[in-house]
Amino acid sequence: MTTARQLQALLDGPHAALRAETRARLSQLGLEKGDGLARDDYRDLVLEWAREIGRAGDGARSFPVAYGGQDDPGGRIATFQTLGHGDLSLLVKMGVQFGLFGGAVHRLGTDKHHAAYLRDVGTLDLPGCFAMSESGHGSDVRSIRTQARYDAEAGEFVLHTPDETARKDWIGNAARHARLAAVFAQLDVAGEAQGVHAFLVPIRHLDGSVVEGVEIEDCGEKMGLQGVDNGRLRFNAVRIPRDNLLDRFGTVSPDGIYSSPVSSPGARFFTMIGALVEGRICIGGAGLAVARNALTIAVRWGERRRQFGTGLDMDTPLMDYLTHQRRLLPAVCQSYALQAAHDHLTQSYVDVLRTGEGQREVEALAAGLKAVATWHMVDAVQQSRECCGAKGYLTENRFASLRADSDVFVTFEGDNTVLMQLVAKTLLSDYAAQFEDLDAVGMVRHLTTRQAGRVLEDLGRSFKRADLHDPQWQTTALEFREDRLVDALARRLRTLVKAGTDPLRALSQCQDHALAAARAHVERHVHQLFRAKATTPLLEQVRNLAVLSTIESDRAWWLEHGFLSADASRDLQKQVNVLCADLRPHALILVAGFGIPDALLRAPIAVDPQTGGAGSD
Amino acid sequence: MTTARQLQALLDGPHAALRAETRARLSQLGLEKGDGLARDDYRDLVLEWAREIGRAGDGARSFPVAYGGQDDPGGRIATFQTLGHGDLSLLVKMGVQFGLFGGAVHRLGTDKHHAAYLRDVGTLDLPGCFAMSESGHGSDVRSIRTQARYDAEAGEFVLHTPDETARKDWIGNAARHARLAAVFAQLDVAGEAQGVHAFLVPIRHLDGSVVEGVEIEDCGEKMGLQGVDNGRLRFNAVRIPRDNLLDRFGTVSPDGIYSSPVSSPGARFFTMIGALVEGRICIGGAGLAVARNALTIAVRWGERRRQFGTGLDMDTPLMDYLTHQRRLLPAVCQSYALQAAHDHLTQSYVDVLRTGEGQREVEALAAGLKAVATWHMVDAVQQSRECCGAKGYLTENRFASLRADSDVFVTFEGDNTVLMQLVAKTLLSDYAAQFEDLDAVGMVRHLTTRQAGRVLEDLGRSFKRADLHDPQWQTTALEFREDRLVDALARRLRTLVKAGTDPLRALSQCQDHALAAARAHVERHVHQLFRAKATTPLLEQVRNLAVLSTIESDRAWWLEHGFLSADASRDLQKQVNVLCADLRPHALILVAGFGIPDALLRAPIAVDPQTGGAGSD
C-alpha cells in the first residue's frame, strides 16, 4: 500500500526539507491578506512577502556563499516550484528579483558586481528588474534594439531607446519598486556592433524618484498577477559608468577596446540568453504546482459533492462518474510523471552550471518541458474548474485567480509554440549530426535496428492487451513515434530545400510537423524518466494511466503508422477507462501526495473529506 | 468574390435589422463606463443599461402584443446573441430579467399574471429573479426541495426552506435588485405531493427593504460577471396569495383541489422545465458571439503583428505562420458553421412554441448545441488569447473579461457534460423507437442500407483526395460515425442490462461512449445545416475547413472503424494545412463578416488594419 507520505516524498525529491520549510513559511504569511487589496497596496504587500521569504534563504539561495548565498541553484528551483502553490504574484515577483535580475548580476557579472550588489539583491534591499523584452520583438532576443554606445572620452556607456518598438516592455518590478535594471542592449564600441550585452542602469533613487533620462510607465491592468508591477522603460541617452557593463562574456577597456573570452558573437549571444533557461525551468515547475492546486480542489470536491437524481444512486459522489474520472485522473497521473522530468531537468541544469557541458540539451529540454508543463496546467485548471461547476466559479474557491494569474505562463519566458520549434530545431540538429556519414539506406537501417522492425513484427497478430501495461511496450510506442516524426521531418525539409525552398520557409511549411515531433520527444522523455520512478503497484498504475492517456489522445498517429491496429486502439481506450476505475479509490491519496496545505489551497470546497481539512503537511 | 457584407448577411440571418439596431444601441451605451467600477456601482449601471435596452424593445420582445410585446421570440433570441458581443454582465442580467423571470411569468403563468406583471417586467419597472437552482442539487430540477404547502383556510401558499441544501443559490438579480421571485418548489396540497411548480414570491419592497420571512445573501465574489447580483434565498414560512401560483400547467382551487391540464406529474415536470430550453438556446448563441469577439481580436492582431527574426522574412505577419493559422482559422470556420445550426434551432424552437410539436427534439438540440457552442467558445477564447501573447494578457485587450465572464457558460443553464448525456439519452430513445420491431439482423441490415456498405466499398482502393472536398463524402463520414456510435452504445447497454446491470449504472459505465455519440450527433447536424448555406466558393472552403478539422481531431475513430485508411487520414491532415493556406488571405474578410463594431470589441490591438478601425458596421 503506497501512502500519501510516500507519494509526497517522491514528488518532493531531494529537496524535501527545503520544500517543507517553504510550505510552512508560505502558510504563515497569511496569503488571504492579499485578497481584494487595492493594486498598489497589494504590490507593496507582495514586496514585503518577497523580502520575508527572500531573507529566510530563498533570495540568495543560488548565489555564492561569499555573498550570503548557499550556492544551491537546485534548491532554489525546488523552493520556487513550491511557491507555485501559493500566491502567484509573489512567485513571479521573486522570480524577477532573485532569478532574473539576481541571475543576470550573478551569471553575467563578475566579482566586482557580485561584491557590490549580490548581498543586497538577495535580501531585497536592492530591488531590481530584468529589462530584456521590447515592444517590437517577440521571443527573439537577437532583435533587441536598445542602444548602448561606449563613450571612451567619458568612460561611460550611453543607453538609448531609439523608438517605440525598442522600449522595454513587460518588465516585472519596473513600474513601482526596482531601483536598478539589468538592461539588455546592442553594444556599440567605436562604431562596431558587438551584439547584445547586459548593463546595470539605475532607474530610481533611494527615495523612489525616477532617475533623469529614464521614463517609466505602468503596463496597465492585467488579466492576473496584479501584485506584480510590470512596466515599460525608455532611456534617453542615459549615462552609466563603464563598470556597469556585466562583463563576464565581453568587456570594454577604458580606452574602448572590446574583448571577449567567447570567440564568436553568435556564441556570446547564446551564452547571454542562457540566463533565460533557469527562468523557463522555474516556470515549468511552477506550472506543475498550479495544476496540482487545481486538481486537488477538484478531486476533493468531486469526492464530497453528491449528484442527486441524475445517475446511479441518490448519493453518488461525482468522482464515481466515468466522465469525471476521465477529466481529472489522467491529469493527476501526468502531474506525477511530469515532476520526474522536472526533477531530472533541474539536476541536469545544475550539472551544466558545474561542468559547463550539455548546455544545448538542457536548453532544449527546458524549452520543451516549460511548454508541455504549462499547457498541461491550462488544461488541468480548466477541467478542474468545470468539474466544480458553479462552486468553481466563486472567487473563494480559487480557480479565478489560479487561472488568471497562471495563464501568462504559456506565453511568457518564451511563447510555448516558439519554444516547441526550438525543441524541433535541436532534434533536427541531433538528427543531422547522427546521420552525417549515413546515406538514406544507412538511415533506414539504423531506424530498423533501433526498433521499427521489431515493432512492426510485434503488431497485429501478436499484440496482446497485456502489452499496454508493459513499460517496455509503452517506451517502444513513444520512441517509435518520436523517431518516425523526426526522421520524416528531416526528409521533408531536405526535399524542400533541395528543391530550392529557403530553409526558414521550409521549416515554416512544416511547422505543425515540427510541433508534433517536439511534443513526441518531450512525451517520450517524460515517460522514460517517470518509468524509473514508478516502483510500487500504485505508481505503476499511475504510469500506465499517464502514458496510455497520452497515447490515446494522439492514437490516430499510431494507427496511421501501422503501430496500433484498430482493435488495439480500441483496447487502449478501454484500458484507460479500466485504469480510471482502478485508480478512482486512490484519488484522494494521489492528491494528498501533492502535499498542499489547506492554508495554501484556500478553497472552502477543498476541505479534505478524510482529514476534515487538516491537510497532509 | 464573397464580401464581408455578404458574410455578415449570412450570419445575421432573418433578424439582420434587429441585430443592427442592437449593435448600434450597444455601441452607444458607452460600455467602457463599466470598467473598473466598484461592484455595486457596476451592478446598478448594468441595471440601467438593461432598462435602456429593454425599453427600446428587447425587454418584451417575446411577450404578447397586448402587454407591450412583439410576440417575437425568434427576434429576442437573435438580439440576445448580438448582446453577446458587448458587456456579458448586461447580457446575463437581461437574460435573467426578460428571459428567465419574464419567461416564467409568460410561459408558466396565465392571463391574470400576464395582465398584472408582464408590462412592468418588460420595462424593468419590476425587477425579478428566477429562483430554481438550490445548493443541494446539481442540474436536476426534480430534486428541488423548497416547500410550497397550500393552506386552504387562509387561501395561501406557504413557501419554506427546510434546510441549507434547499436554499436557492446562484439566483441572478436576487442579491440587489429583484422585487419579485419566480420560485420553484414542491407543491403540497392537502398532504399530496403534486411535483415542482413555480410561485411568485415578493422578496423586496419598493424601497428595497427585504420582505419579512425572506433571507437574502450575496453569493460572493465571482470569477467574472461582477455586474450580475447573484444571491441566495431562504424562505421562512413565507405566505403568498393563491393567485401567485403560476398555474398554466396546474392550479389549486380555493378549497384546495388540485387540477392540471397535463395528465401525469412526469409530463407536468417536463413542461415546467421547458422554460430552460430558451435559456440554453440563448447561452449557446451568446457563446458563439463571445468566440467571434476573441477570434476577431486575434486575427486582426495576427495580421498587424510582425514576428521579427525567428521565421521567414524580417517582416512576416503572425498570420502567415501555419501554427497560427491552425489555431485560429478552423475556429473561425466553425463559427460560421455553428451559426447555421443556431439559426435553425431558433426557428425550430419558435415552431414548437407555435405548434406545440417537436418539443423533445428541440430540447435535445438545444442541450447539445449549448454544450458544443460553449466548449467551442472556451477553446477559441483561449487560443486567441495565447495567439496575442503578452498583449492578450493586458486587460485593455479584453481577453481577461471575455474569458472570466463567459467561463460559467459551460456549467450554467445545465452543465455541458450533463447536457450531452441528455442528448445521448434522446438518441437512444429514437434508436429504440426506430428499431422497436427489428431484431439484431434487421438492425445491421438497416445500417448497411443507409450507408455502411457503400462506405466500406468506397474505401481504400477508391478513396481519392478530392473526396475530402466533396460535401457528400463529408456528410457520409459524419453520418457513419454517428450511426455506428449510437448503434454500438445501444448494443452495449442492452448487453449490460440483459446481464443484470441496473440501467442507470449501465449508462454510467458507458458515459464516455454516450458523450462521443452525442458529440457525433451534434457535429453531423451542424455540418448538415451549414452545408446548405455554403453556396459560394469561399463558403465552400469555410465548410471544408470546418468539417475536415472536425474529422481530423477525431480521425482515430474513422481509422478504427475502417472508414479512413492510414493514407487517407494523412491526406486529410495535409488538406487541413492546404485549406489554412488557402483561407489565410481571407482571414480579415472572414472576421469582418462577424460584423462586430470596434465600440464593442474595445481592444486596442484589434484596430482593423484595413479600415483603420472603422469596423464594418
Tell me the CATH number at B409. 1.20.140.10
Specify whether the CB–CB gap between A366 and A345 falls below 8 A: yes
Place of cell 479509490: A585
Q: List, in sequence order, every residue forming a beta bridge with A201; answer none if it has no partner.
A: A181
Contact assignment for B382 to A378 by CB distance below 8 Å: yes
Residue A611 lies in a domain: no
Cα–Cα distance between B514 and B500 in angstroms, integer? 20
Specify the DSSP element, H or E, that contains B572. helix B566-583
* Domain shared by A499 and A376, yes or no: yes
The gap from C-alpha A388 to its chain's centroid, in whole angstroms, comes to 26
Domain range for B191 is: 128-263
CA–CA min distance A83, chain B (Å): 22
Domain boundary among A240, A261, A282: A261
Contact assignment for B308 to A416 by CB distance below 8 Å: no
* Domain shared by A107 and A136, yes or no: no
Contact assignment for A307 to B386 by CB distance below 8 Å: no
Q: Which residues of B touch A220 (CB under 8 A)?
A: 394-396
Note which residues in 200-239 of chain A have CB less than 8 A from chain B. 219-224
CA–CA min distance A385, chain B (Å): 9
* Domain shared by B20 and B134, yes or no: no
* Domain shared by B144 and B85, yes or no: no
Contact assignment for A394 to B220 by CB distance below 8 Å: yes
CA A144 to each of CA A100, A136, A137, A147, B358: distance values in angstroms, whole numbers, following the listed order: 17, 8, 7, 9, 63
* Domain shared by A90 and A117, yes or no: yes
Q: Does B385 touch chain A (CB under 8 A)?
A: yes
* Domain shared by B309 and B381, yes or no: yes
Q: Are strands A168-171 and A214-218 parallel, antiparallel or unpaired?
A: unpaired
Cα–Cα distance between B445 and A239 in angstroms, integer? 86
Contact assignment for B390 to A408 by CB distance below 8 Å: yes
CA A430 to each of CA A358, A364, A435, A449: distance values in angstroms, whole numbers, following the listed order: 13, 11, 9, 18
Q: Does B309 touch chain A (CB under 8 A)?
A: yes
CA–CA min distance A407, chain B (Å): 8
Residue B288 lies in a domain: yes
For residue B358, the model assigns a pLDDT of: 87
Contact assignment for B310 to A138 by CB distance below 8 Å: yes
Q: Coil, strand, or helix at residue B77?
A: helix
Higher pLDDT, A106 or B138: A106
Contact assignment for B220 to A396 by CB distance below 8 Å: yes
Contact assignment for A308 to B143 by CB distance below 8 Å: yes
Domain boundary among A73, A94, A123: A123
* Domain shared by A355 and A504, yes or no: yes
Place of cell 492585467: A222
CA–CA min distance A410, chain B (Å): 7
Residue B615 lies in a domain: no
Contact assignment for B408 to A393 by CB distance below 8 Å: yes
Place of cell 457535429: B523
Q: Where on the phi/psi map is residue B57: left (φ > 0), alpha (ψ -120 to 50), or beta?
A: left
Percent of residues, chain A, with pLDDT higher than 70: 90
Q: Coil, strand, or helix at residue A593?
A: coil
DSSP B521-534: HHHHHHHHHHHHH-
Q: Does B378 touch chain A (CB under 8 A)?
A: yes
Residue B177's domain is classified under what CATH number?
A: 2.40.110.10
Global confidence as pTM: 0.94
Cα–Cα distance between B169 and B237 in angstroms, integer? 18
Place of cell 442490462: B497
Q: List, in sequence order, every residue forming a beta bridge with B183; answer none if it has no partner.
A: B131, B199
Note which residues in 320-349 of chain B have CB less than 8 A from chain A. 320-323, 326
CB-facing half-sphere around the CA of A108: CA atoms within 13 A: 30
Tell me the average confidence (pLDDT) per consecutive run of 10 residues in chain B, 617 residues long: 92 96 96 94 98 95 95 96 98 97 95 97 97 80 91 97 94 98 96 94 97 97 96 98 95 95 69 79 98 98 74 72 96 98 96 88 96 98 96 95 96 92 92 65 51 48 80 96 95 92 86 96 98 96 98 97 94 96 97 96 82 42
Residue B51's domain is classified under what CATH number?
A: 1.10.540.10
Cα–Cα distance between A596 and A583 in angstroms, integer? 20
For residue A307, the model assigns a pLDDT of: 64
Domain boundary among A205, A233, A261: A261
Residue type, B507: L
* Domain shared by B297 and B375, yes or no: yes
Indicate the residue of A393, A415, A511 with minimum beta-carbon distance to B389: A415
pLDDT at A210 over 80: yes
Contact assignment for A394 to B223 by CB distance below 8 Å: yes
Specify whether the CB–CB gap between A406 and A268 falls below 8 A: no
Cα–Cα distance between B102 and B98 in angstroms, integer? 5
Q: Does A503 touch chain B (CB under 8 A)?
A: no
* Domain shared by B32 and B156, yes or no: no
Residue A616 lies in a domain: no
Residue A286 lies in a domain: yes
Cα–Cα distance between B22 and B84 in angstroms, integer? 11
* Domain shared by B346 and B457, yes or no: yes
Instruction: Of B156, B142, B166, give the one whose Cα is nearest residue B189.
Output: B156
Domain count, chain B: 3
Q: Does B496 touch chain A (CB under 8 A)?
A: no
Higher pLDDT, A272 or A167: A167
pLDDT at A40 over 90: yes
Specify whether the CB–CB gap between A332 and A591 falls below 8 A: yes
Note which residues in 542-581 of chain B have CB less than 8 A from chain A. 555-556, 559-562, 566, 569-570, 573, 577
* Domain shared by A315 and A334, yes or no: yes
Cα–Cα distance between A292 and A183 in angstroms, integer? 35
Q: Which residues contact B518 (CB under 8 A, 6 or more apart)?
A: B368, B371, B420, B421, B423, B424, B427
Instruction: For an interface test with B, give the residue of A411, A459, A515 to mutate (most B CBs within 10 A).
Output: A411
Contact assignment for A393 to B310 by CB distance below 8 Å: no
Instruction: Of A25, A128, A5, give the one whose Cα is nearest residue A600.
Output: A25
Note which residues in 86-115 of chain B have CB less than 8 A from chain A. none
| Each residue's pLDDT tens digit, A444-495 | 555 544 544 445 545 544 678 789 999 999 999 999 999 999 999 999 999 9
Residue A615 lies in a domain: no
CA–CA min distance B517, chain A (Å): 14
Q: Does B501 touch chain A (CB under 8 A)?
A: no
| Each residue's pLDDT tens digit, A21-39 | 999 999 999 999 999 899 9
Place of cell 399530496: B192
* Domain shared by A471 and A552, yes or no: yes
Residue type, B349: Y
Q: Which residues of A touch B396 (CB under 8 A)?
A: 220-221
CA–CA min distance B70, chain A (Å): 34
pLDDT at A141 over 80: no
Residue B455 lies in a domain: yes
ipTM of the complex: 0.93
Residue B61 lies in a domain: yes
Contact assignment for B221 to A418 by CB distance below 8 Å: no
Which has the minimum average pLDDT: A430-439, A516-525, B227-236, B601-610?
A: A430-439
